[in-house]
């Protein structure tokens, strides 16, 4: 099946999909190796990883598409790509959706923030007018309907400025326009989360940022609320950074670091050395490499 059809089949199942988010090909491979059904390319984490800068609209469309392509080439599970605001007007949104599909994404997220966008759990967020927000989703759906095999994840950040009611109204219109998945960013209480899922159709996604504005509820509670996807955009990057900083501190102090490190044999296996050697053994010239 195509990546989009794989994602459609997952959404047809009556269960919560726990979705650790990746930021590069290696983090995506680890997510797949640990048995998760899908992943999402976190814009926050990808910006930090690729350009060492915050998620404030600094990565270009070409950089985002290239990062998504590298991830898709490394995994077989569906990837949801972060299309941000679409990188321009409605015609740019169409190009973004088409380009993310060509990169191999199963779905692409398009949001209603003012460009340059900001992380959904940081200060200074603002959203465009309803009309512009609807045009973005309309253009994304048009790109899909023109033969682009990809799902549309429609996001609104209107809760921050205009309250939950406005966010729900926008998301409901996104569904009416043809979006496949809805994402109301940053509800602040469990009650707000329940209202989102009870008032909106389609599969809804929860975004769980540790230390962010949305409650970090257990998966069984998220499922009971009605969410179909639970995204964890920063868990892997935050864990990795903490481990790297601790290892660097040990190195600076001259302390042993063996206990912090993945075994070298396991490291090679996870990256793919063993699979490469097994496959290359079929070819005589590869044995001489």
Say whether pLDDT at 136 is over 90: yes
pLDDT for 119: 67
**For the chain, percent of residues with pLDDT exceeding 90:** 91
Residue-level pLDDT at 104 = 98
pLDDT over threshold 60, residue 289: no
Q: Decide if pLDDT at 287 tops 70.
A: no
Contact between 187 and 200 under an 8 Å Cβ cutoff? The reply is no
Residue 256 confidence (pLDDT): 94
**DSSP helix/strand/coil, 288:** coil
Give the pLDDT score at 117. Answer: 76
Average pLDDT over residues 34-48: 97
User: Which pairs from 5-14 meet CB under 8 Å and 24+ separation?
Assistant: 5/149, 6/77, 6/78, 6/106, 7/38, 7/78, 7/80, 7/106, 7/107, 7/151, 8/151, 10/37, 10/38, 10/78, 11/180, 11/181, 11/203, 11/228
For residue range 76-91, list pLDDT tens digits in order: 999 999 999 999 999 9
With a pLDDT cut of 70, the percent of the chain lying above it is 96
Q: Where are the domains of the chain?
A: 3-240, 258-289
CB atoms within 10 A of CB 287: 10
Give me the helix-helix angle, 25-33 and 235-253, nearest 10°. 110
What per-residue confidence (pLDDT) applies to 32? 98
The tens digit of pLDDT for each residue in 185-199 reads: 999 999 999 999 999
pLDDT surpassing 90 at residue 286: no
Predicted local distance difference test score (pLDDT) of residue 284:
74
pLDDT at 134 over 60: yes
Per-residue pLDDT reduced to its tens digit, 223-278: 999 999 999 999 999 999 999 999 999 999 999 998 899 999 999 999 999 999 99
Please, which residues have CB within 8 angstroms of residue 161's CB and are 6 or more apart in sequence? 125, 126, 127
Does an H or E element contain 18, and which?
A: strand 17-22
What is the pLDDT of the chain when averaged over all its residues? 95
Predicted pLDDT at 116: 77
Query: Which of the following CATH numbers is that of domain 3-240: 3.40.920.10, 3.40.50.300, 1.10.3660.10, 3.20.20.60?
Result: 3.20.20.60
Q: Assess contact for 171 and 182: CB atoms under 8 A.
A: yes
Write the Ramachandran bin of 184: left for phi over 0, alpha for psi from -120 to 50, otherwise beta.
beta
Q: What are the Cα distances from residue 36, in Å, to 12, 18, 76, 90, 186?
A: 16, 7, 11, 34, 24
Planar angle of CA 237, 83, 130, nearest 5 degrees: 120
Average pLDDT over residues 200-220: 96
Interatomic CA distance for residues 122 and 215, integer angstroms: 15
C-alpha 234/C-alpha 184 separation (Å) is 18
């Amino acid at each position: 099946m195509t990546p989009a059809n794989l994602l459609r089949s997952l959404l047809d199942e009556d269960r919560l999909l726990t979705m650790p988010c990746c930021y590069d090909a290696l983090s995506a491979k680890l997510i797949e190796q640990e048995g998760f059904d899908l992943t999402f390319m976190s814009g926050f984490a990808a910006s930090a990883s690729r350009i060492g800068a915050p998620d404030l609209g600094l990565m270009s469309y070409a950089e985002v598409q290239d990062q998504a392509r590298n991830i898709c080439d490394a995994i077989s599970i569906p990837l949801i790509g972060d299309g941000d605001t679409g990188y321009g007007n409605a015609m740019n949104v169409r190009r973004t959706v088409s380009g993310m599909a060509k990169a191999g994404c199963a779905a692409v997220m398009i949001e209603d923030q003012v460009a340059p966008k900001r992380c959904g759990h940081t200060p200074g967020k603002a959203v465009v007018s309803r009309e512009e927000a609807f045009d973005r989703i309309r253009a994304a759906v048009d790109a899909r309907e023109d033969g682009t095999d990809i799902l549309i994840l429609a996001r609104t950040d209107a809760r921050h400025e205009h309250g939950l009611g406005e966010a729900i109204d926008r998301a409901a219109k996104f569904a009416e326009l043809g979006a496949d998945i809805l994402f109301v960013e940053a509800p602040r209480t469990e009650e707000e989360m329940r209202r989102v899922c009870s008032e909106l159709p389609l599969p809804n996604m929860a975004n769980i940022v540790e230390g962010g504005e949305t409650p970090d509820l257990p998966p069984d509670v998220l499922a009971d609320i009605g969410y179909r996807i639970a995204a964890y955009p920063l868990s892997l990057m935050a864990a990795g950074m903490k481990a790297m900083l601790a290892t660097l501190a040990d190195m600076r102090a001259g302390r042993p670091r063996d206990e912090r490190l993945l075994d070298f044999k396991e490291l090679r296996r996870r990256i793919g050395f063993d699979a490469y050697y097994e496959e290359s053994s079929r070819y005589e010239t590869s044995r001489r490499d």
